[in-house]
Amino acid sequence: MEKRVLLAIVLSFVVLYGYQAMFPPPEPVKPAPAAQTPATPQGVTAGSSQGAAAPGASADATPLEQVSSATPVVGDTAERDVTFENGSVRAVFSTRGGAIRSWRLKKYLNAANEPLELVPQDAPSGLPKPFTLSVQDAAVSKTLAQALYRPSATSVEASSAPQTLTFDYQDASGLAVKKEFSFHPDSPYVVHFSASVTRGAESLVPTIHWGPAVGTNLEVNTSGYNAPPQPIYYTDGDVERIAATSVPEIADQKGTYGFAGVDDHYFMSAVVNPTSPLHLQYQVVPMAAKDPAEDPPPPYVSWSATYPGAPSGAAFFFGPKDFDVLAAIDRDLVRAIHFGMFSWLVVPLLRALKWINVYVGNYGWSIIALTALINVIMFPLRHKSVVSMRRMQEVQPEVKAIQARYSKLKMTDPARQNQNKEMMQLYKERGVNPASGCVPMLLTLPVLFAFYAMLSVAIELRGAPFIGWIKDLSVYDPLFITPVLMGITQFIQTKMTPSTADPTQQKVMMLMPLMFMFMFIWAPSGLVLYWTVSNLWAIGQQAVTNKMIGPAKVHVVRPPAERRVKNAGGGKSIAAKERK
C-alpha cells in the first residue's frame, strides 16, 4: 500500500502519454529537389498555375491555347469563374477543367479571421484540383483537364433549395464530356457528382482526381495536437489512418469502402458510402521550407478514386469533422473522428458539452460546468477513496511495526509468509480494505482519458474563445497562466491528500505538480482548464471530506511481545525467537 501513490502517478502518465502514442507526431518529409517537376496523377498533365483568385477573375495567366487539335463544338470562349454558395460554404469553380479552385468554410476562420480555405493554394503548380478527370488515353486526359467547359450558370445559390451545376464540353473529334454537381441545403458540405466521358460511340471510365488535400495544416498549429493530412479509409468495420511516410505502401489499392479520402486534425475530403468497389490512389506532395533554416512543413497528400463505371450521384464530403454533421450524412462517417479507445464515453461527454454550450454560449464556461457535473457524479467514489486512504494512514504505524519485525527474515523463510497474515488481521480489526483506496481512483481514469481525448480532437473548440487572453481553446495558453494555475492547484491538492508513503516517496510526489505543469505548457488551453477546475474541485472536496471524517486517529503500537505470530514450524513467536 505504500506504493499506491506511485501507482497513481504511473497511471496518470499512462493516461497522458497513451493519447500521445495514439497520435504520434509525423516525421517531416523532405521536399523534392527544386529542379524536379512535381508528380501528377496518372493521366493528368501539368497545366496552368492553380493559384488563388478572386471570384469572377481569371485564375491563371496560361494562354488559352487548344490542348487538342479538334475544334471545340461545345465549350466556353474564355476561362472564368462560377461561384457557388450556401449557408456554410463559399466555393469557386473554374470553367477550365470544370474543377473546384476554392472551397471556403464560412463557419470556420483562418488566422486572418477569414473563411477557412480547404483547397491548398500554396501547393506546387500543375497539380489537379478537386473533380479533375482523367482516362487511360493521355491525350484525352490532357483535354479533360485543360478544356474550357460551358457552365450551366454563372453562379449557384443553394441555401434554401437543391441546385445543380453542370459543365459541358464537346469537340469535333467526337469527345463529349459532362460534369454534374448537385447540392442540397440539408448537407452543405456534400457534393453529389456525376460524370460521363464519351468518344464517339465509346464510353470511357474516368478517374476523379482530388489533388492535394486538405489545405489547413499550414494555417493552424496546435503544437503537436494538429495532425497533418493523411490518407483515411473505412473498410471491414475498421478505420485506417496512414502516416504520410507510409503512403507508398498503400498508394494503389482496390476495395469496398464506407468512406475514403484524406483528413487532417479537424477537416476531411472523402468519397462517402460508394455503392461499388473503388480504385484508390494516394501520393505525397512534399512542401518546401519557407526558410532554409527551418524544417519543411508537413506534406499534402493527393488522392484519386476510380469507379467501375462512369460515376453517377457519387457523394463527396468536403468539410469539418463535426460529430453531428458527419452523423447526419452517414453514421459510419463519425468514425473519422479519432476519439481513441474510450470513444464509447467520449461521445456522451461531447454531446453533454454541446448541450451545455447551447445555454452557456461559451465553451470555456461550458467546460467548467461539465467538469463540475462530472465531479459531482464522482463525489462518492473520491470520498470513499479519501476515507480509505485516511484509515490506511491511521494504521500505518502498526503496519510498519509488523514489517520491522519481519525485516530480518529472509524472503525464503516460511515464517515470512506470516507477515501478510498478520497485516490482513490488522486490516480486519481496523475495518480497512486496502483495495478500496485504489479502485475508486481507477474507475475515474476512463473519464479522465475520455475528457482528454474529447478536448484534444473536438472541432467545437477550434477557434472558440474563453476570456481575455485565451482566444482559442484548442491551442496552448499564450501567456501560460492556466498551466501555472494548474501546477499550483495540483500542488495544494497533493499536499492535502492523505498519504501512507514514506518521506522519500512523499518528496517525489511533491515534484509531480511541477512536472505536470511543464507537460501541459503546450497542451490545448481547454484541456488545461479542465484539469485546473478538477484540481480546484478536488481541493474543495478534500476539505469537505476532512471535516466530515475529522482528524486522523492515532493508534499506539503495541510492544512486539504482545503480538504473537505463529511460525510455520512450531508455533513460536518472532519475539520469542528474538529473546533467545
* DSSP structure class, residue 425: H
In this predicted model, what pLDDT tens digit does every residue of 249-275 receive, in sequence order?
989 999 999 999 999 989 999 999 998
DSSP for 177-231 reads: EEEEEEEETTEEEEEEEEEEEEETTEEE--EEEEEEE-TTTTT---TTSSPPPEE
Res. 34: pLDDT tops 70: no
Split at pLDDT 50, 70, 90, the class of 62 is: very low
- In the chain, % helix, strand, coil (3-state, to 5) comes to 40, 20, 40
Res. 441: pLDDT tops 70: no
Q: Would you state the pLDDT for residue 180?
A: 97
Query: Taking the model in full, what pTM does it have?
Result: 0.77
More confident residue, 43 or 297: 297
Res. 22: pLDDT tops 60: no
What average pLDDT does range 347-359 have in this prediction?
Answer: 94
Highest mean pLDDT among 38-52, 182-196, 547-561: 182-196
Q: Which residue from 74, 85, 107, 67 is spatially nearest to 157, judged by alpha carbons?
A: 85
Query: Topology of domain 78-337, per CATH?
Result: Beta-galactosidase; Chain A, domain 5 (2.70.98)
Q: Would you state the pLDDT for residue 219?
A: 46
How many CB atoms neighbour CB 115 within 10 A? 18
Res. 283: pLDDT tops 80: yes
What are the domain boundaries of the chain? 4-18+357-549, 78-337
* Percentage of the chain lying above the pLDDT 70 cut: 77
More confident residue, 134 or 436: 134
Split at pLDDT 50, 70, 90, the class of 354 is: very high
Q: Would you state the pLDDT for residue 403?
A: 78
Q: Would you state the pLDDT for residue 56?
A: 34
Q: In what order do the strands lie in the sheet with 89-94?
A: 115-117, 99-109, 89-94, 81-85, 155-157
The C-alpha atoms of residue 462 and residue 475 are separated, in whole angstroms, by 8
CA angle 59, 60, 63 (to 5 degrees): 140
Q: Would you state the pLDDT for residue 502?
A: 58
Query: Per the structure block, which three cell numbers stand in for 65?
Result: 491555347
What average pLDDT does range 317-329 have in this prediction?
Answer: 95
Q: Would you state the pLDDT for residue 503?
A: 62
Highest mean pLDDT among 86-90, 296-300, 338-342: 86-90
Q: Would you state the pLDDT for residue 226?
A: 64
Lowest mean pLDDT among 61-65, 184-188, 454-458: 61-65
Tell me the CB-side half-sphere exposure of residue 151, using CA atoms within 13 A: 23
Q: Would you state the pLDDT for residue 579?
A: 42
Tell me the CB-side half-sphere exposure of residue 432, using CA atoms within 13 A: 24
In this predicted model, what pLDDT tens digit does every residue of 520-572 receive, in sequence order?
888 889 989 998 998 898 888 888 877 777 666 655 555 554 544 444 444 44
More confident residue, 380 or 41: 380
Split at pLDDT 50, 70, 90, the class of 18 is: low
More confident residue, 85 or 543: 85
More confident residue, 558 or 335: 335
Q: Are the C-beta atoms of 523 and 482 separated by less than 8 Å?
A: no
* DSSP structure class, residue 516: H
Q: Would you state the pLDDT for residue 554?
A: 57
What average pLDDT does range 322-334 have in this prediction?
Answer: 93
Res. 141: pLDDT tops 70: yes
The C-alpha atoms of residue 368 and residue 533 are separated, in whole angstroms, by 7
Greatest Cα-to-Cα distance within the chain, rounded to the nearest angstrom: 116
Where does 378-473 have alpha helices with state H?
Answer: 379-406, 417-430, 439-457
Return the bridge partners of 239, or none: 234
Highest mean pLDDT among 180-194, 485-499, 513-527: 180-194
